[in-house]
């Protein structure tokens, strides 16, 4: 009877050991898993960090671009209109409409450039305004004159007008009419400069 009791005790002891070993292994697995999850950075943080770094790097050029646009958005101190043909003439009573006159590209380009370079003729204290420059080109007299019609300007200061006229005339002085293709004896070309003023 004593042997039977000892045998039953030994057999009941094995399941308890198995349960203890299983519980211990399960505990170890849980601890290791917890440590792994605790040490690993969350995916959301990585994504947000990457997004922040990319947005910060992307925002820098954007801000620089905005600054460049704002700087470029300031209106220029001088704007020049397109050169327009006022008229072309030959000897006699015949009148040629401006729209059928041929063009003089070298004269037009030189006039536009000369007017663009005339900005210093307007003092920094001046409020600005408009000045029309008329190029009177005579192939029969072989002469090019620059006229500033009173009706084509809003700048009233005589010193400014004289200074601007001198600047453009000096710039056009080197323009030659030799070898320039033309169909008429005389042309009149006009261009308008708008000075913004720097006051």
List, as one string, the DSSP characters of 130-189: EEEEEEEEETTTTEEEEE--GGG-----HHHHHHHHHHHHHHHTT---TT---SSSEEEE
Where does residue 190 rank: exposed (0-12), middle (13-18), buried (19+ CB within 10 A)? Answer: buried
Select the more confidently predicted residue: 7 or 109: 109
Select the more confidently predicted residue: 5 or 167: 167
Select the more confidently predicted residue: 47 or 146: 146
Q: What is the band of 167 on the pLDDT scale with cuts at 50, 70, 90?
A: very high
Q: For residues 119-146, give the mean pLDDT.
A: 90
Q: What is the rounded distance in angstroms from the CA atom of residue 5 to the CA atom of residue 1?
A: 6
Q: For residues 3-9, give the mean pLDDT.
A: 49
* Residue that is written with structure tokens 């084509």 in the block: 152
Question: Would you state the pLDDT for residue 126?
Answer: 73
Q: What is the band of 40 on the pLDDT scale with cuts at 50, 70, 90?
A: low
Q: For residues 72-97, give the mean pLDDT.
A: 85
CB 198 within 8 A of CB 78: no
Select the more confidently predicted residue: 48 or 118: 118
Instruction: Say if residue 87's pLDDT is above 60.
Output: yes
Q: What is the rounded distance in angstroms from the CA atom of residue 69 to the CA atom of residue 55?
A: 20
Instruction: Say if residue 182's pLDDT is above 90.
Output: yes
Q: How many CB atoms lie within 10 A of CB 165?
A: 17
Highest mean pLDDT among 60-69, 71-80, 119-128, 164-173: 164-173
CB 144 within 8 A of CB 107: yes
Q: What is the band of 45 on the pLDDT scale with cuts at 50, 70, 90?
A: low
CB 173 within 8 A of CB 119: no
């Amino acid at each position: 009877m004593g042997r039977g009791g000892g045998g039953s005790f030994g057999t009941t002891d094995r399941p308890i050991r198995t349960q203890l070993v299983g519980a211990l292994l399960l505990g170890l697995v849980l601890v290791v898993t917890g440590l792994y999850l605790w040490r690993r950075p969350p995916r959301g943080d990585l994504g947000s960090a990457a997004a922040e770094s990319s947005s910060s790097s992307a925002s820098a050029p954007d801000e620089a671009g905005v600054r460049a646009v704002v700087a470029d958005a300031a209106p220029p101190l001088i704007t020049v209109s397109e050169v327009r043909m006022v008229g072309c003439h030959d000897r006699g009573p015949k009148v040629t409409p401006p729209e059928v006159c041929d063009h003089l590209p070298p004269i037009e380009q030189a006039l536009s450039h000369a007017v663009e370079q005339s900005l210093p003729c307007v003092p920094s204290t001046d409020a600005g305004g408009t000045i029309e420059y008329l190029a009177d080109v005579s192939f029969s007299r072989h002469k090019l004159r620059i006229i500033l019609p009173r009706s084509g300007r809003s700048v009233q200061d005589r010193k400014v007008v004289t200074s601007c006229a001198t600047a453009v005339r000096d710039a056009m002085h080197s323009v030659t009419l030799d070898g320039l293709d033309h169909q008429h004896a005389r042309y009149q070309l006009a261009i308008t400069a708008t000075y913004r003023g720097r006051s």
